[in-house]
Chains A and B, each alone.
Chain A
Amino acid sequence: MSKWGFTAIKTNQSDLDLVDHGLIATIGNLEPSIFWCIGCGSCSATCTSAQFNNFNPRRIIHAIRSGHVKYITDEVDKCLLCGKCQMVCPRHVNTRNIILNVKQITGQNAI
C-alpha cells in the first residue's frame, strides 16, 4: 500500500531547470578547459584508477556541468593524479587539474 498514494513521489527524471551552476562556474574559472569536453571517453578509457574501481573522469566532468555535487565529492578520492587523462584528451581538457581543484575545494570547505 505504501507504493501508492499522494506522498512525495520521487522522480527519476532529471530537471535541468533546477541545475546548480555554482560548481561549474567555480571550476570553470579555475580551469576554463572544462568547457571544451565532448565526452569522448578517452580519459576514462586510459585512467589508472578506472581499471580497478568505478572512478570515471568523463562522468565527473559531466557531473560538474550538471551540478551533481554529492557524486563528485565522493568520487574524486579515487584519483591518483597520474595525468594520463590529460595526456590523451583530444580537446586539451586539463582533467587532472579539474579533479585537483575539486579535491581542494571540497577538502577545505565541503560543499
Chain B
Amino acid sequence: MNKTIVIVGGGPAGLEAAAALGSSPHHVLILEKEHETGGKLKNWHHLFPNFADAFEILKSLEKTLPLNNPEVKYDSNVCKIEQMDGKLLVLLNKGEKINADAVLLATGFDLFDAHKKEEYGYGIYKNVVTSFELEEMFKIGSFPDHLKDGMPKKIAMVHCVGSRDKKAGNLHCSKLCCITGVKQAIELRKHLPNSSVYNFYMDLRMYGQHFEELYQEAQEDYGITFIRGRVSEIAENSEGSLQVKAEDTLSGRPMKMVFDMVVLLLGMTPASSTTPISVSLGLPRTNAGFLSPLHQHIAANETCIPGLFLAGTCREPLSLQESITDARAAAFKIIEWLKLKDNN
C-alpha cells in the first residue's frame, strides 16, 4: 500500500533519508524552505577530518533528484503540523495542505548569531568573520581586500562562540566547532603560507576518527599555536587590526595580541524554522532546545507523536557522516512503523 512520507528539510539528512526510502514502494516528498536542496553543505568547501570535497558529497546525495524520486517542493516553509485521524496534516505557509502517513523532521540547525557576542565585535569591526564566512572565502579561493589586501598575516581562531556559554543562552557543547577550528586553521596555513594562526580554546574536543591525529598535524606540520584561554573581548586598532584579550591559563597570565583577522567558530543552535512545527504539535525539546526524541539511546529517531520521526542535527549536534547514518536509521524506522500500522 503506497503511503505518503513527507520529509521536512532537504539538507544532507533529508536527502539521505529520501534515498534510503527510495527503494520502498512509498511516495516520498521533500519540503525544502530554500530554492535549492543541500542545506548548509552547499556552503562548505572541505570537510573534516580528511578534507573531503563537500560539493562532491552533495552531488552524490542529490543524485536521484533528477528522476523526481524523491519529489521536491522548493520554497516551501512548513507553518503547522496537525494530527488528524491517525495521519499528519502538514500545512505550508503558502496555504497548501499535505496529508502524510509519516513525517520526518530533518530541519537541521542554525548557526549561532555572532552579533549577540558584542564583545567580539562581529558586525562592528570588519575584520571579524565567522567560520561560515571563512568557508565562503575558501570556496572562492581568496580573501576580501579589507583583510590586509587579501593576505592576512596573523589570524586568530576563537573557539566556543555561542557554545558552552550561559551568557549566550547555550550551555551545550556544539561538538563540531573544535575540529572545524583545527581544520580551518590548517586550511588557512595552506592558503596563506606566510601566515601564522592562533587557536584560542577552553578544551579541544577531538572526539572522532582521525581528529586527534589532525590536531597533531596542525601542531607539527603547520605550526599552529594553541592557547588555552577563552577570549574575553576584542578591540580594534586604528588601522583595523584587532587586539584579542584572553588569559594564557597554562602560563597563568592575561595576554593580548594583535591580529589581522579573527575567525569566530560558531556553535549550533536548533533551527528557528522548526519552532512553529514543534509548537503546533506540542513536541518537547531538550534543555539545549533541540527536538527531543522518544528515547535518547534506543529510540533516537522516534518521537512521542506517532508517525513523527527525527533525523540529523535537528535533534542534537551531529557531524555530516553522523547525520547521514542517522537519516538511514530514521528511514528504516519509518518503513518498519508503516508496516506495523498496515498489519494492525
Contacts and interface: CB of A to CB of B under 8 A. Distances in A.
Contacts of B253: 54, 56
A45 B200 CA distance: 12
Interface residues of B, number: 23
Interface of B: 119, 160, 164-168, 202, 228-233, 245-249, 252-255
B60 to A, nearest CB: 39
Given A40-B202, A56-B252, A45 B166 contact: no
Interface of A: 38-47, 50-51, 54, 56, 58-59, 88-92
A59 B252 CA distance: 8
Contacts of B202: 38, 40
Nearest to A40: B230
B101 to A, nearest CB: 44
B254 A90 contact: no
A46 B247 CA distance: 8
A58 B228 CA distance: 13
A2 to B, nearest CB: 31
B246 A41 contact: yes
Given A39-B249, A40-B249, A58-B247, A46 B233 contact: yes
7 nearest interchain CB pairs? A41-B247, A45-B232, A46-B232, A40-B230, A44-B247, A90-B165, A41-B249
A92 B231 CA distance: 16
Contacts of A88: 119, 167, 232-233
B245 A45 contact: yes
B167 A40 contact: no
Contacts of A39: 249
A90 to B, nearest CB: 4
Given A42-B231, A45-B233, A89-B167, 16 more contacts: A38-B202, A40-B202, A40-B229, A42-B229, A42-B247, A44-B249, A45-B232, A45-B254, A46-B232, A46-B233, A46-B245, A59-B252, A90-B160, A90-B164, A90-B165, A90-B230
Nearest to B166: A92
A52 to B, nearest CB: 10
Given A58-B247, A88-B119, A44 B254 contact: yes
Nearest to B170: A90
A42 B230 CA distance: 5
A8 to B, nearest CB: 28
A41 B229 contact: yes
A41 B248 CA distance: 8
Nearest to A91: B166
A42 B232 contact: yes
A90 B232 contact: no
Contacts of A91: 166
A47 B252 CA distance: 13
A40 B164 CA distance: 11
Nearest to A86: B167
A36 to B, nearest CB: 9
Contacts of B167: 88-90, 92
B269 to A, nearest CB: 15
Contact of A58 (B160, B233, B249): B249
Given A45-B229, A88-B119, A91-B166, A51 B247 contact: no
19 contacts: A38-B164, A40-B229, A40-B230, A41-B229, A41-B230, A42-B247, A43-B232, A43-B247, A44-B249, A45-B247, A46-B232, A51-B254, A54-B253, A56-B253, A56-B254, A58-B249, A89-B167, A90-B165, A91-B166
